[in-house]
Every structure is written in structure tokens, then in C-alpha cells.
Amino acid sequence: MVLRRVYREAAVGLGGVKKRHNLSEALKTLKLSSTGASDSVEGCLDCMLKALALNNVETSEKIQEMGVLATMPPLLSANNTSTAKVANIIAEVAKNEFMRSPCVEAGLIPPLVQLLNCKDQEILLQTGRALGNICYDSHEGRGAVDAAGGAQLVAEHIKARAESSDSVDGKLLTVFCGMLMNYSNDNDSLQAQLISMGVIPTLVRLLGVHSQNTALTEMCLIAFGNLAELESSKEQFASTNIAEELVRLFRKQVEHEKKEMIFEVLAPLAENDVIKLQLVEAGLVECLLETVQQTLGSDRDEDAAQLKTSSDLMVLLLLGDESMQKLFEGGKGSVFQRVLSWVPSNNHQLQLAGALAIANFARNDGNCIHMVDTGIVQKLLELLDRHVEEGNVTVQHAALSALRNLAIPVVNKSKMLEAGVSDVVLKFLKSEMPPVQFKLLGTLRMLIDTQAEAAEQLGTNLKLVQRLVEWCEAKDHAGEVARTVIQALGIKHLVTMATSEHMIMQNEALVALGLIAALDLDCAEKDFVSSSLVQVLHKLLTDEHSAPEIKYNSMILICSIMGSEPLHKEVQALAFLEVISSLRSHENKTVSHQASLTEQRLTAQS
């Protein structure tokens, strides 16, 4: 979860106001004046600023109590020599939450926004501060600035000064960026407005040009963290060199907090596949691996947090097909090898990340075959063995996911069975955790697909069959409410589960039905027919909303029941061949491949 930050100036109290009567007199004098041209007004403003510096809260309360805010709009003129001081006072009082709505109600926003059109640097600086503080956590303030068009003017100022190396411009840019952050924070519509104004490319340019300006750099990072959560921002970010800038900045950081700020930007950005690849090409992975190496074994909480964030981000980068394949490098890449070394680690977070990384690398047949041939299965089995007794559930689930993916290519199944995968997986039958139970079934089902001997062995495993029946009867799996306790082998109940509105329940019901069909089709045949299994499978395959996993497992199940004459006839009667043929062009490669295999099976038995 990305933490949203805001730019907020501190309201500092330094004790009571020593000359309170002087302040009262100054406020009275200011109320009586309609312009800022007199020396007396100038003196009043100076007195107010000194009082605010001594005790901001009490002075602000006094200003509000005496109704002074309402006298300020006429003083906010670009031609007034005191305008910068007036804007400064407004900025100071707006540090207090109780003063923001009164500032809006006093009509200060329109004249402040008008001041953004002037050229005077000091006026612009104080005006930016005033608007930013009024917008901080204030719906009224943001609404008023929006109505007056303030954000557009500030965005234009930032763009115009983006390339400037002037220190004064640097300070102004920092204030203006902070103003836009406070204006849009936690408000999706206002953030979308900024994105449509094109602020993202401008802010990325700031990060590159002003990398030595720590305050401005931090302001840009916080702004990125807020904007990056909107999906509409990803396309704009992808069109910039944000990946290079963030990686360059990350390499320079030594402080935990600074790295954490960059992580908060990287996490939402890395959800986009285009940006994933850009980050990989920019060298982020090497930075993450180095961070893991530096923090591994440390007892400090911040180091443990960095290790987790770095390894999690590494796994996230592998979710993109192109970025994953680039890092795999035919199974010889240094990054791939380093990630593999995490699996035998004694650190649970690295074990988890390593197993998840393998599962992500195992997303095409070529990668899976290479990994099985190079002994990765043994690493996963050793990891699982370490977590059988009171083990880490997330590690168990991740390792089973990796084994399940590796078992998809037909050539891998017999090799994995010979390596003892089913024996190790069956050790987790006693698990009471639904995610582990689901993944265990998925792994076994993938292993025995087309492996008749292995299916027969599992079919004679009394513990597995008994546990399968227990799971079918369970009324509560991961919060999902199942139907009534099943009869016989639970087929009627499982077929009903296959029509559930919850994809996980659907998928695991299909997996269980597949296991039953593989174990003893003859005994299950009658219940399959009476529960209208074939009709349900036809509906799942023709439903355009069915997930790829559902379509894939439905086709696996069809192949499994073709040995039954009555079920075979039902399949033929519903013209399954036409439906399966159309799935050969499915966008999901696993589904299209299985459609081809299923079509061959149906054609051969027609």
C-alpha cells in the first residue's frame, strides 16, 4: 500500500504574545484602513507577522475574533507594496486548521489566485504558500482554488521555470509543487485534473534538472506517489524517462527514509507492464538485489522493511511478460541465479519472494522445461520440507504455486513425479488453510494430467481421498459459503460449486472433479450424468465472462470424462467441438493450447 504524503508547513508556538495590546491596536488600525498605501498599515502588518512568529495559534485566534480577514482582499493587489506581507500573513494563519474555512469565507482565494499572474517573485512565493496552506486537508479550500483556476496557473509557472537553475526559482518551484500536492491529495478528480494538465512530464523534468535540490526532489517524489495511484497517470509516466530518473536517484540514496520515499513511487508505477520493462532496463533490479544483500541479516526494523519492499518489488517486476523474459535470459541470467539463491535462505521473506519469482518465471513452457532440467524442483521440495510442521503458510502457498506452474508442460510431469513431488505435496494434506488446500489440489491435478499411473496411485491413496471428501463437505472455504454437505463422493455439490459466482470456488471445484474423474470414472459416471456436469461445462466454456483458468480446467475435465460412453454422447449432442475450436484463438496462450489438445481428443473420439 502506497502511503500518501502531503506538504504541510509547521505552526510553531514560541510562547505568549508579550505586547498583546500592541497587536490589538494593530488589528484595529488595519480594520479601519481600506488600502495598503499608508505607513500605518505597513506597521500593522509587521506587528502581525511578529506576533504570529511568537505564537501562531493565539494570534490567529485574535485575527479571526476581530474579523480582520475580511479586510484583506483589497490589500491583495499586485500594485500594493504590502501585498507580499499580506499573503505571508494569510499563509501563516492558514497553518491552523480552524483558519482555513474562514480564509475561504473571507473571499481571499480569488484575489490570491489573481496574484499568480504577477511577476514579483516574493509575491508569487507568499501567494503559493498561502494557497497551499489553505488547501491542506480542506475541501472548502480546494474547491475555491479549483473554481478560481488556481491549479492551472501554478502548473504553468512550474512548467515555465522547470529548466531554470536560479536558486530563487528553485524555492518557488518547491512551494508551487507543495501547493499542487495539498490541492489534489486524496482527491481523485483533482489529481485527474492535474494529470490532464500535463503536470507529470513537467515534474519528471524537474527531478532531472534539480536533482541537487533536496527539498524540491522530495516534493516531486511525494507528488509522484500521490498521482501514480491513478491508473490514468500510468500512460503519461510511461512516456517520460521516470524510470531512469528514479533509478538514478535511488542509487544516490543512503538514508532509509529517502529510499522509502522512492519505493512509494516505484510500487504503484511497477504495476504497469510498460513501466516494468523500463525499470528493468534502467537497472532497478540490480539496485534491489544490492539492497537485499545489504539488509540481509540485520536486526534493525528499517532494514527488514527495506528487504521486504525490495524483494516484493522484484516479484512485481516479474509479473510483466517482457520484463520477466528479459531477466530470465534463457535461464542463465545473473538476476535469475541470484533470485534462486533466495529459496534455500533462512529468511522467510526471501524464501517467499524466491518461490514467487520461480512461479512467475514459470509462465511459459520453455522456461518451465529449463528450470526442471536444472534442478529447481529439488530446491522447492527442500523448501516445502522445511515448512511441513507449523510452517509459514505464505511460503507453502508460494512453493506449491511454483510447482504447479512447472508441472504444466507435459514433458515435465514424469520428471517431477520421479523427483518425488507428489509425496512432498501430500505431506500438506493435514493443512487447515484453504489457500494451501486449493493450491495442493491444483498442483496434484496438474501433475497427474495425462499420467495414468500417477493418477492410479493417487486414487489408491486413502488419506487423499478421505481428505478430498472432507474438503468437499467444508462449509466455509476462505470466507466463501458452500452449499449443503455432499452425497456420496460429493459430485453433486462440486458441480454446484462450479457454477458459483466466486472464481476460486469454481476453479477448485473443477480441479476436484478432474481428480475424481481421473481416479475412478466408472464409479463417478452416474453422479456426473445426474448432476448435469456436461451441460455446466458447456455453459462455462461459452460464457465470455469465464476466466481463462475456468475455461482451461473445463477442457481438462472434458478430456477426463470422454472415456465414459453416456458422457461422451452428451458431449457430442451439445456440439462441443465447435465451442472448443473457437477457443483456439483465445488471447490466453494456455487456453488456446489446451483448446488444440482438446479438439484433437474430441475429433479422435467422434
Grid cell digits, residue 207: 527531478
Alpha carbon distance 219, 440 (integer Å): 47
Alpha helices, H only, 362-433: 365-373, 376-385, 393-406, 410-418, 421-426
Instruction: Please tell me the predicted confidence (pLDDT) of residue 580.
Output: 83
Note the Cα 375 to chain centre separation in Å.
Answer: 33
Q: Is pLDDT of 401 > 80?
A: yes
Note the Cα 217 to chain centre separation in Å.
Answer: 23
Alpha carbon distance 236, 449 (integer Å): 45
The answer to whether 400 and 439 have CB atoms below 8 angstroms apart is yes
Q: What is the mean pLDDT of residues 501-511?
A: 73
Grid cell digits, residue 40: 500605518
Helix (H, G, I), strand (E, B), or coil: what is residue 210? Answer: coil
Instruction: Please tell me the predicted confidence (pLDDT) of residue 478.
Output: 31
Alpha carbon distance 481, 605 (integer Å): 38
The answer to whether 584 and 600 have CB atoms below 8 angstroms apart is no
Q: Is pLDDT of 278 > 70?
A: yes
Instruction: Please tell me the predicted confidence (pLDDT) of residue 477.
Output: 41
Alpha carbon distance 152, 40 (integer Å): 36
Helix (H, G, I), strand (E, B), or coil: what is residue 502? Answer: coil
Instruction: Please tell me the predicted confidence (pLDDT) of residue 38.
Output: 62
The band of 493, judged by pLDDT with boundaries at 50, 70 and 90, is: low
Grid cell digits, residue 506: 469454481
Which fold, 334-460? Leucine-rich Repeat Variant (1.25.10)
Amino acid (one-letter) located at 144? A
Amino acid (one-letter) located at 401? S
Angstrom distances, CA of residue 585 to CA of 478, 543, 572: 34, 15, 22
Kindly state which CATH superfamily the domain 490-605 is placed in: Leucine-rich Repeat Variant (1.25.10.10)
Helix (H, G, I), strand (E, B), or coil: what is residue 481? Answer: strand
Domain ranges of the chain: 334-460, 490-605
Residues constituting the chain: 606
Alpha carbon distance 247, 498 (integer Å): 46
Helix (H, G, I), strand (E, B), or coil: what is residue 13? Answer: strand
Grid cell digits, residue 206: 524537474
Query: Average pLDDT of the chain?
Result: 84
Cβ neighbours, 10 Å, residue 187: 17
Alpha carbon distance 225, 200 (integer Å): 11
Alpha carbon distance 339, 43 (integer Å): 67
pLDDT 10s digits, 346-379: 899 999 999 999 999 988 889 999 999 999 999 9
Asked, colleague to colleague, whether 334-460 and 490-605 share their fold, the answer is yes
| Vertex 582 angle, CA 581 and 585, to 5° | 105
- Of 210, 198, 263, residue with least CA distance to 237: 198
Angstrom distances, CA of residue 298 to CA of 282, 293, 305, 307: 28, 10, 11, 10
Instruction: Please tell me the predicted confidence (pLDDT) of residue 479.
Output: 29
Alpha carbon distance 277, 272 (integer Å): 9
Q: What is the mean pLDDT of residues 576-592?
A: 81
Q: What proportion of the chain, given as a percentage, has pLDDT over 70?
A: 90
Q: Work out the widest C-alpha separation in the chain, in whole angstroms.
A: 104
Helix (H, G, I), strand (E, B), or coil: what is residue 477? Answer: strand
pLDDT 10s digits, 211-265: 888 899 999 999 998 898 888 898 899 999 999 999 999 998 888 888 899 999 9
Alpha carbon distance 217, 237 (integer Å): 17
Cβ neighbours of residue 597 closer than 8 Å, sequence gap 6 or more: 555, 559
